[in-house]
A and B are shown apart, each in its own frame.
Chain A
């Protein structure tokens, strides 16, 4: 069973701090990794993707990937109350019933709360 694991939280950080969200995955063959943000009652929206080991920065967001450790993380610098949401990690992988293509496997998400 392919799995993507995230700490469910809630993770609470003060405004202006760095929020660190972590994700581990079981399929060593996965090549693509994604972070989505989901506000309560809304659909997920893509915020970052990463394919290569190392760091990828986009504004206040940094994604980090370590394929050897099967670990991907998201750092949010200068956290704002508007960043309060559930963050979903998604990993490309082949699902339980085989199939002919890799699809995105999602973790259950980490709920982030940024306190003013």
Chain B
């Protein structure tokens, strides 16, 4: 069966510090991978998606970036965090475009 791992579960970071969140998927090959952010009072916002190694599409301009160094690994990064980067970050995977997405347990990021 397929599983998705995301870590850490919680993170408190000072403004201006770097960020690295990692996500890995097991039990499937060449998944579509996604990073979403859920801020208080707002819906799930798609940040990045990837259809293959090294292929990253950004949906929202921001100071975040994503990378996919391996088929089942997806990384969300920032060089300098802003207060507005606080939120619940969710990694997800799907078999194909437009198909149901399966989420990791999420990372609650607080920038102070």
- Number of chain B residues close to chain A: CB under 8 A: 25
- A contacts with B: majority SS: loop
- Number of chain A residues close to chain B: CB under 8 A: 28
A31, A42, A44, A107: the one within 8 Å of B98 (CB):
A31
> Which chain A positions have C-beta within 8 A of B44?
44, 88, 90, 106
Q: Are A108 and B42 in contact (CB under 8 A)?
A: yes
Give B91 Cβ to nearest chain A Cβ, in Å.
9
Residue of A nearest to B44 (CB): A106
Q: Could you say which of B13-21, B63-71, B74-82, B101-109 contacts chain A? A: B101-109
With the chains together, A103 CA to B100 CA distance in Å? 9
Q: Are A32 and B106 in contact (CB under 8 A)?
A: no
Give B7 Cβ to nearest chain A Cβ, in Å.
13
A-B contact count (CB 8 A): 62
Interface residue A96 (Cβ < 8 Å from any Cβ of B): yes
User: Taking A34-B100, A43-B90, A104-B98 as contacts, is the C-beta distance between A99 and B43 under 8 angstroms?
Assistant: no
> Which chain A positions have C-beta within 8 A of B108?
41
Residue of A nearest to B104 (CB): A43
Additional 15 contacts, C-beta under 8 A, given A46-B101, A88-B44? A31-B98, A32-B100, A34-B101, A43-B90, A44-B90, A95-B46, A97-B59, A99-B57, A100-B57, A101-B32, A101-B97, A101-B98, A103-B46, A103-B97, A107-B43
Contact surface of B with A, Cβ cutoff 8 Å:
32, 34, 36, 41-44, 46, 49, 51, 57-59, 90, 97-106, 108
Contact surface of A with B, Cβ cutoff 8 Å:
4, 31-32, 34, 41-46, 49, 88, 90, 92, 95-97, 99-109
